[in-house]
Amino acid sequence: MNAIISASELASELADQNPPVLLDVRWQLSVAKAAGEPPFDGRAAYAGGHLPGAVFVDLDADLAGPAGAGGRHPLPDVDHFGAVMRAAGVSADRPVVVYDGGQGWAAARAWWLLRWTGHPAVRVLDGGLAAWTGELETGEATAAAEGTFVPVPGSVELLDADGAASLARSGLLLDARAAERYRGDVEPIDRVGGHIPGAVSAPTTENVAADGRFRPAEELAARFKSLGASGTSQVGVYCGSGVSGAHQVLALAVAGIPAALYVGSWSEWSSDPQRPVATGAEPQ
């Protein structure tokens, strides 16, 4: 099964006898607070208009645990995650389509978590809500029936800090953040700027076109090959807190390249002053 689905394909599948469960995961990184702007309210945006039947899932509350030593978006409690998925109507024998406002990062986080916990058929709406041309409904939707999905963690590979450091030397570790954060020129969120020594800069924003849709699979494959994805070496990804990194893992999946995610990412790595930090444009 492809990791992404177009809006036209989704419209067709929603008319089938076994339509996919829809999850709305609208979210934005809360750096705007420092500028005095109100934080983005994903639930309010959802209530204002969402795909018919879609159930809202809160990234911070449901797709991550409390921020701390494990990073800003560590793994959620598995039992809580499973309960949220079942309440949303998720079952292992029914496909799931996840979407967000269009950036794709939050949807990719939900996609990755469902894959990691064993769901066999989950995809991301390519381009998100912005790509949808059908009708929307307002207010709060609930699942027509409780789902039966029981998470079984470990279905895809997960990296910890030590694993990420090792992979940066033995394989290919991609840093999905903006290039200026990788270099250490700026760091608006975490303790210090820079990157994991040996990691290669690969901003996830370069995987999509201007309309937010993924570039064709062959273009993505060529990009990752140019970054060092040889087809034989292991590939890993990290970002700031395991959200945009999930989007990079999704792009790699579209290109046919399996990759592991370091969920703690830079927010965990940089919180420990004993861990080495590289700066500049080179992996070092």
Q: What is the mean pLDDT of residues 58-67?
A: 97
Which residues fall within 8 angstroms of residue 75, CB to CB, at 6 or more apart? 64, 65, 263
| pLDDT bucket at 35, cuts 50 / 70 / 90 | low
Same domain, 165 and 108: no
Q: Which of 131, 148, 170 is the last residue of a domain?
A: 131
Same domain, 18 and 75: yes
Among 67, 61, 111, smallest CA distance to 267 is for 67
Domain contains 279: no
Same domain, 197 and 257: yes
Domain contains 217: yes
Among 253, 260, 266, 125, smallest CA distance to 186 is for 266
Place of tokens 């046919």: 256
Q: CA-CA distance, 269 to 71, in Å (whole number)?
A: 8
pLDDT of 233: 87
SS3 content of the chain, % helix, strand, coil (to 5): 35, 15, 50
Domain contains 281: no
Asked whether the predicted pLDDT for residue 33 surpasses 70, the reply is no
Q: What is the mean pLDDT of residues 238-258?
A: 98
Same domain, 14 and 52: yes
pTM of the complete model: 0.96
Q: What is the mean pLDDT of residues 12-35?
A: 84
Same domain, 220 and 183: yes
Q: CA-CA distance, 80 to 98, in Å (whole number)?
A: 18
In DSSP terms, which residues pair with 125 in a beta bridge?
Answer: 5
Q: What is the mean pLDDT of residues 9-25?
A: 96
Domain contains 138: no
Share of the chain above pLDDT 90, in %: 92
Same domain, 252 and 181: yes
Same domain, 188 and 244: yes
Same domain, 177 and 233: yes
pLDDT of 32: 45
Asked whether the predicted pLDDT for residue 155 surpasses 70, the reply is yes
Annotation marks residue 98 as catalytic: no
| pLDDT bucket at 31, cuts 50 / 70 / 90 | low
Report yes or no: 30 and 39 within 8 Å, Cβ to Cβ: yes
Q: What is the mean pLDDT of residues 250-278?
A: 97
List the catalytic residue out of 59, 90, 158, 239: 239
In DSSP terms, which residues pair with 159 in a beta bridge?
Answer: 262
| pLDDT bucket at 30, cuts 50 / 70 / 90 | low
- Residue 220 is part of a domain; what is its CATH number? 3.40.250.10
Domain contains 13: yes
Same domain, 120 and 23: yes
Domain contains 39: yes
Give tens-digit pLDDT for 122-153: 999 999 999 999 999 999 999 989 999 999 99
Same domain, 15 and 100: yes
pLDDT of 48: 97
The angle formed by the CA atoms of residues 76, 243 and 88, to the nearest 5 degrees, is 50
Per the structure, the count of domains in the chain is 2
Mean pLDDT score across all residues of the chain: 95
Same domain, 185 and 107: no
Domain that holds residue 230: 158-269
Domain contains 145: no
Same domain, 122 and 183: no
Give tens-digit pLDDT for 89-124: 999 999 999 999 999 999 999 999 999 999 999 999
Domain contains 149: no
Q: CA-CA distance, 240 to 270, in Å (whole number)?
A: 10
In DSSP terms, which residues pair with 98 in a beta bridge?
Answer: 23, 124
